[in-house]
Amino acid sequence: MSDKWLTQPGSAGNSVYAKLKEQIVTLELPPGTTLSEKEMSLAFQVSRTPVRESFVRLAQEGLVVVLPQRGTRVSLIDPELVEEARFMREQLERAVIRLACERFPEEALAALADNLGRQQDSIRQHDNHEMFALDEEFHRILFAGCRKLGTWDVIQQMNAHLNRTRVLWLTTDPHWENLYNQHQAMVETIGSGDANRADQLMMEHLQLSISNLPVLQERYPDYFKQG
């Protein structure tokens, strides 16, 4: 199987930004964490300039907040932005999976099947970071197979707050089989060309991503923006 359906590594110049974003999204740097240019430059063994530039990019995505005289802090999760991102994803991904049911490359379908196999491995190993990465990869392959990667990139600009709730859910809830089963059913409907069933599955799948938001807010109140 070709790796063209998978996320490709970025340039060295983006490595600080990519690593910081990964640490924030996976909650290695939890909401509210104070970030120091000096400490980050030492940790990544780079000058302060790429760290500062990374902070600017992350602020544009809503992942950090730059506070005058007080430095930079990982943003709290905003429930309104979580819902807005889910709404956008639902509209676009339901349209994309309908396209996939009409025409989808065999190689991309094979990439989805391979992804499902690795999801099973992550469930057995209970690796929540890997499961999140595979969930992201699964959806990206759908867009790649429909030649809509530009649309996927737009989604990523809105996805920061939603992604952190997804990671938090995977950390909190040990039962990931439903997530896997939904993905498997989507692949089957693409193979059979059942667009209406695929549409319904995608809608249910993306509503699942916020169904437990109140529980997460109650369990991790310090992670969420209030009011």
- What was the pLDDT predicted at 123? 93
- Taking alpha carbons only, the member of 84, 88, 79, 92 closest to residue 165 is 79
Q: Are residues 52 and 132 in the same domain?
A: no
Per-residue pLDDT of 123-162, as tens digits, reads 999 998 899 999 999 999 999 999 999 999 999 988 989 9
Q: Indicate the pTM of the whole model.
A: 0.87
Q: The CATH number of the domain where 169 resides is what?
A: 1.20.120.530
Q: The CATH number of the domain where 70 resides is what?
A: 1.10.10.10
Q: What percent of the chain has pLDDT over 90?
A: 71
Question: Looking at the DSSP assignment, which residues form a beta bridge with residue 65?
Answer: 73
Range of the domain at 187: 79-223
Beta strand pairing call for 34-35 and 64-67: unpaired
Residue 3 inside a domain? The answer is no
Q: Are residues 83 and 155 in the same domain?
A: yes
Determine the Cα–Cα distance for residues 17 and 79; give it in Å rounded to an integer.
24
Determine the Cα–Cα distance for residues 71 and 88; give it in Å rounded to an integer.
32
Per-residue pLDDT of 193-218, as tens digits, reads 999 999 999 999 998 878 889 999 99
Structure tokens at 91: 């509209």
- Residue 187 burial by Cβ neighbours in a 10 Å radius (0-12, 13-18, 19+): buried
Give the DSSP H/E element, type plus range, for residue 34.
strand 34-35
Q: Which of 43, 59, 74 is the last residue of a domain?
A: 74
Q: Are residues 129 and 203 in the same domain?
A: yes
Q: Which of 26, 41, 74 is the last residue of a domain?
A: 74
Question: Looking at the DSSP assignment, which residues form a beta bridge with residue 66?
Answer: 72
